[in-house]
Structures are given as structure tokens and as C-alpha cells.
Amino acid sequence: MSSGIESVLTETRVFGPFERVAATAHISGMDAYRALYDEADRDPEGFWARQARENLIWDKPFTTVLDESNKPFYRWFPDGELNVSANCLDRHLGTPVADKTAIIFEADDGEVTRITYRELHARVCQLANAIKSLGYQTGDRAIIYLPMSIEAVVAMQACARLGITHSVVFGGFSSKSLHERCVDVGATLVITADEQRRGGRAIPLKRAVDEALSQPGGEAVRHVIVYRRTGGAVDWNEGRDLWLHDVLEGQSNECAPVPVNAEHPLFILYTSGSTGKPKGVQHSSAGYLLMCLLTMKWTFDIKNDDIFWCTADVGWVTGHSYIVYGPLAAGATQIMFEGVPTYPTPARFWEMIQRHQCTIFYTAPTAIRSLIKAAESNEEHHPRKFDLTSLRIIGSVGEPINPEAWMWYFTNVGRERCPVLDTWWQTETGVHMITPLPGATPLKPGSCTLPLPGIDAAVVDESGREVEPGRGGFLVVKRPWPAMIRTIWGDPERFKKSYFPPEHNGYYLAGDGAQRDTDGYFWIMGRIDDVLNVSGHRLGTMEVESAMVAHPLVAEAAVVGRPDATTGEAVVAFVVLKRPLPQGDEANEIARELRDWVGREIGPIAKPREIRFGENLPKTRSGKIMRRLLRLVAQDQPITQDVSTLENPAILTQLSQSY
């Protein structure tokens, strides 16, 4: 659990309402919120049907709203047909939005490129035509391994236009992770770049694709389309590899969008669970897009003249919902950034907000916490030094934001005029679930406040009964919602087991601990499973453990999270080697080697912050590793509880020592 918990439980401050935002908000005032919430509560199907008719353009209107015949495999608008790309682009062409800027792209080096909706539509059509001419069609799967770029948006939208299911792999994942995902999803097409540019450095992407595809199963990929980003040298597999600029050559600006069933899988996005194997979270077309658009209006209160900026990478669900699909469906102008918040200086975000007159800014607590540190150590990088008056709404996502960071963000970035939206959601939920509405909800620092209309969230005990205010429990969603996960790709049993365990009455189990206060506000307490949250990135402890034991020197490994002031949690690994306990330099050397190994196996984000060696791990007599104790050891906390059930209590002393 996160470091902010103690302060969260004593937090009593309330901020807002924010009249300036409320005056023109889509949902203005708590009465309006309650009216909408009650409408959805009384007649969920009627409510979602109305929203789906008013907000989406259908090729074939639906007649059924929700098919519950095969719970928990819910199907929304199951006999309707539409195209997601047409709903993001074509819908704007006959309107004044057509010539509005869709994306203001700022590169790592500061170069700015703008693209209008009409131009974006043409680019997407050209790429869709190129993909089609290579023989791909509806139902195929494509892996997208691209840097933050207009090309990434174009690639995802082009897939959506043809009904090709995309699976975006974050550029920070290793070739091994990429290979796993390619094979699991059954990809026949990969779209990548020569290299990506971040923080002044070029990082190869094509090389990782080559490595991934040289492994068993990789030959199923018939083509690799390569975007030339840096011009860095790449190996070339003649016949398989194609330059993006070559395949686009001569392609028409028009490509008819392919109508697909509402339930057609728009994308599969891998995320960590409590086993070693990442889960391919499958999302639908209609229900997902509907809620992307609705949350743009409800949560971000998006308006025609807003300049929206979500700093997430398109490799995460946040980038899918709030860069590629939501903002475009809403016809918004958005900023997209290639680089990192600290390059060339930790003032980059504040400079960019000022330069582009950003009005809605959405980032992660981990970024905020690192920028607090930077601002406090150098006045030049303090947000107060910049003109941030364009901002009207600021948001946070990905992990709990502790009240201290919340207050700093509210005071120094929002200047106490902008509501802070602490949005709780997950890869599986598709979109925001519990979040303040900027023109309605009074804010409490550290709370994600109240569920959106149509979202029946609750906190329950082990047997699925709702707990009283002030008591902790499991966060659940009692009724299905249109943007929810449909299944785990290729593993429907795991889907049922992970999210709809029998003891929870058929409720969706989020995997987070939470409690509500007497105002009904939700306070998220962190994951209840073996999933860590490191800098807003989800990591399975088992995933890191399996990577470690794959190393020839490692006999056994246990991984736990330790609260960290900047990254939320840090990975600490306890390792038993196949050789005698290492000391001094040798221990340092092996620790470095193992850290790099994990970086290659999974990606740099999974590298353990600390590795401790022991001759064994604390286990019960039945052989179960006592992670609860290891978590205490990792924090250098005294172990006060009874350890008599341990097979080998003395091991705790050994593991408490750093080498």
C-alpha cells in the first residue's frame, strides 16, 4: 500500500465548488450530477441506450442494449454496427471541426507539428489503404510498437478503420515482452519505428522487433511497417520489412470505414496480473468508444476551444482512451508530447502549458512528485515562474495521489482556481469510473470522490456484503458498464476467475482496497493482490520473479513492493542463489547483473530498486513464502508478530542485512 495512506485517513479539507468551471459545465452542480446518476440507476439500459444513440454514429442501429445471457461475458448494443475511426474523424468532416487542429505534436527537441482533422483523416485513410493492399482485413491483429507520434495515432486509427484489432506495446518493453505479446495475440502485422527519441537519446525499436520476430512464432508476422523517426541504422528483412513512407506512396486520401459489430474487439492491451503471465485485456468497439467520449464531456468538460493535454504514453490505456479515441471523438484540440518531463529541464511541462495555452492538463502523481522535488531544489523550475493562467482543469491518474502532492498541484499548478480531478480507473474499466466532475463535485485531497453516472461502485467484505463507511474492503462494481473489459484474450476462464469470483455476487472485482467516508466518497488504499504500482506502471510480482529465476545463477526469488516517496512503490527482490551467499563486491556485481537481466526480460521499469541475498526465504512449514514478512524486511521495519509458524525464522535476520 502507498505511503500516503496515513495522511489520507486524517484528511478533512474540502475545496470547491469551482464557479468559473461550473458556470458552463456539461454537468453543472451536484443536483445535475445526482439527477443523471439517478436516471442511470433507475433504468441503466434506458440510460445507456439514450447515450449511445445521442453520442455515436451507427451504420446499423442496435435494437438490444445489453445481452446478459452469458454472464460475465456481457455484450453491449450487440446487434448494432459502426466504425470507430468514422466516429473519431469522418463525423467532423462536414463541420467546422474539419479544419481545426486535432494534434499539436511537440517533439523531444521542441519541434512542433500541427495536424488538422481533415489532414489526419487523409493520413489515416492512406495508411488504411496501404495495410489493405498488403492483404490484411477485418479480424486480423496488428502489434503497434511506436514512439509517441502522430504516426502512432494514425496507425491505431487506421487499424480501427479496417476492423483490425490492435495491440499496442509500450516502447519501454523489451524484445522478450514484445515477442510474448506478438505470439499471444496472433499478430500478422507489426508497425514500428527505427528508433524513438526521449530525453535527447535515441533508443532502438526496430532492433527489438527483429529480435522478437526471430523467436519461435515470430514468422507468423508477414510484414513490419517501419516509420523513419531518427534515420538511425536498421537491419532489413527484404520482403517482410517496409518503410512507412514507401507504403503510403500513391495511396488515396479516401478509404471507406468498415462497419463492424459493436462488440468487435477494437484492441487488446496487455497488463500485469497476479500470475507471471500478462493478461490481454480485450475491449469492444461501441461501448468503449461511447464512454471515452462521455468521459471527455463529463470528467474533462471538453469544449470546442479547449487545448487538452494528456501526458500518458499511447502504450497504456490512458493514451488509448484520452489521446487516440476520446479527444478525437470529441473533436478536441490536443497536445501530444514525444519526450520526458525532465528534458531539457524539469520545467518542460510548465513551459509547454504556457507555450500552447493548455486548458486541461492530465498527468500522473509520479510525475507530479518528481517535479515537486525538482521545483523545490531549483526555483527556475518552479511552476510559479510560468504563466499557467490558461489552465482551467487539472487531473491525475494511475496511482493514489497523496494529500501533500494533491495540495502542491492544486496550489502551484492550478493556482487554487482549477479543480484537481483524481480519476480512478484501470486498463480493464476502459475509462474513468470514480472521479470528481469539475463543475459539480466538492474535492477532498486524496479522494477520487464519487462514481460517474451509470457506475455502481461499492466497497464490500469477503462475502460480497457492503461495509459501513470508514471500514476498508474490496472495491467492486455491481453492474456492468459499456466500456468494461470483455474477456482476457484467449483465456476466458482466467477472466471469470480474476474479475468475477463466485463469493462476490457477480460483482466486478477491481483488485483495489478502498473505503468510503460518510459522504460516500471513495478513498483508494492500493492493490490487494500481488500487483505493484511503480511510477503508475502496473507490475506483477510473479512476473518479476519468473524473470529472475530464469537467470542461470538464481535458485529462488521473491519480489515485494516498498513505499517510495517518488515512484509510489519500489521493487525489492529477495534472492537465493545456486551458489554460496555472495558478499561485498561479488554481491554488488551479481545484483547489477540481475537488475540488467530483468530490464532485458521485461523492460527497464521492472528493474528491482534493491536486491537482497539470502540462503533461503521465509517460508511456512507448507512451503509458502511469507511475503507479508518480506514487505516489513524490505522497509527495514521490526518484525513484532509471531513468526513461530515459520520453517526458518533465522532467515529474517540474514535478509535484513544489506550486503
Give the residue numbers of the binding site for ATP.
Answer: 398-400, 422-427, 512, 527, 538
d(CA 346, CA 380): 9
The CA distances from residue 529 to 275, 533, 574, in Å, are: 10, 11, 19
DSSP 409: I
In order, the DSSP letters of 472-486 are -EEEEE-S--TTS--
Instruction: Identify which range of 53-61, 215-223, 257-265, 425-433 contacts ligand WT7 by CB under 6 A.
Output: 425-433
Q: Which three cell numbers stand for residue 9?
A: 485517513
Does position 433 interact with ligand WT7 (CB under 6 A)? The reply is: no
Q: Scanning residues 491 to 510, which ones bind ligand WT7 (CB under 6 A)?
A: 510
Does position 441 interact with ligand WT7 (CB under 6 A)? The reply is: no
Does position 167 interact with ligand WT7 (CB under 6 A)? The reply is: no
Whole-number minimum distance, CB 498 to ligand WT7, in Å?
Answer: 12
Does position 149 interact with ligand WT7 (CB under 6 A)? The reply is: no
Pairing relation of β-strands 279-283 and 487-488? Answer: antiparallel
Whole-number minimum distance, CB 148 to ligand WT7, in Å?
Answer: 16
Whole-number minimum distance, CB 443 to ligand WT7, in Å?
Answer: 13
Instruction: For residue 438, give every residue at least 6 positions away whose Cβ sits within 8 Å of its Cβ, in sequence order, or none.
Output: 18, 21, 22, 25, 299, 300, 301, 392, 393, 419, 421
Binding residue (CB under 6 A) for ligand WT7 from 210, 422, 545, 564: 422
Does position 538 interact with ligand WT7 (CB under 6 A)? The reply is: yes
Which of 97/397 has CB closer to ligand WT7?
397
Which of 120/460 has CB closer to ligand WT7?
460
Whole-number minimum distance, CB 10 to ligand WT7, in Å?
Answer: 18
Does position 426 interact with ligand WT7 (CB under 6 A)? The reply is: yes
d(CA 589, CA 586): 5
Binding residue (CB under 6 A) for ligand WT7 from 464, 511, 540, 618: 511
**637: number of Cβ within 10 Å:** 10
Does position 524 interact with ligand WT7 (CB under 6 A)? The reply is: yes
Task: Quote the distance between the C-alpha of residue 424 and its chain's center.
Answer: 11
Whole-number minimum distance, CB 432 to ligand WT7, in Å?
Answer: 8
Please report the beta strands in 141-289, taking only residues with DSSP state E, as ranges in sequence order: 141-145, 165-168, 189-193, 195-198, 201-204, 223-227, 241-243, 260-261, 267-271, 279-283
Binding residue (CB under 6 A) for ligand WT7 from 102, 124, 317, 476: 317
Beta bridge partners of 570: 562
Instruction: Identify which range of 228-236, 252-260, 348-356, 420-428 contacts ligand WT7 by CB under 6 A.
Output: 420-428
Does position 443 interact with ligand WT7 (CB under 6 A)? The reply is: no
Does position 424 interact with ligand WT7 (CB under 6 A)? The reply is: yes
Binding residue (CB under 6 A) for ligand WT7 from 106, 399, 543, 564: 399
Pairing relation of β-strands 554-564 and 420-423? Answer: unpaired
Which of 397/476 has CB closer to ligand WT7?
397
d(CA 550, CA 602): 12
Q: Which helix (H) or strand (E) holds 230?
A: none
Phi and psi at residue 426, in whole multiples of 5°?
-150, 165
Does position 569 interact with ligand WT7 (CB under 6 A)? The reply is: no
Q: Which three cell numbers stand for residue 61?
A: 442501429
Binding residue (CB under 6 A) for ligand WT7 from 149, 188, 366, 533: 533
Does position 431 interact with ligand WT7 (CB under 6 A)? The reply is: no
Residue ranges for the binding site for CoA?
A: 198-201, 318, 535
Does position 279 interact with ligand WT7 (CB under 6 A)? The reply is: no
Buried-exposed string 96-107: b where 16+ CB fall within 10 A, e elsewhere: ebbebbbbbbbb
**Secondary structure of residue 331 in the 3-state scheme:** coil
Whole-number minimum distance, CB 433 to ligand WT7, in Å?
Answer: 9
Does position 477 interact with ligand WT7 (CB under 6 A)? The reply is: no
Are 223 and 213 contacting, i.e. CB atoms less than 8 angstroms apart?
no
Does position 541 interact with ligand WT7 (CB under 6 A)? The reply is: no
The amino acid present at 629, given as its one-letter code, is: L
Does position 397 interact with ligand WT7 (CB under 6 A)? The reply is: yes
Does position 427 interact with ligand WT7 (CB under 6 A)? The reply is: yes
Which ranges of 471-537 would DSSP assign to H, the alpha helix? 492-499
Does position 412 interact with ligand WT7 (CB under 6 A)? The reply is: no
Whole-number minimum distance, CB 316 to ligand WT7, in Å?
Answer: 6
Binding residue (CB under 6 A) for ligand WT7 from 383, 398, 464, 480: 398
In the complex, which residues of this chain contact ligand WT7 (CB under 6 A)? 271, 316-318, 397-400, 422-427, 448, 510-512, 524, 527, 533, 538
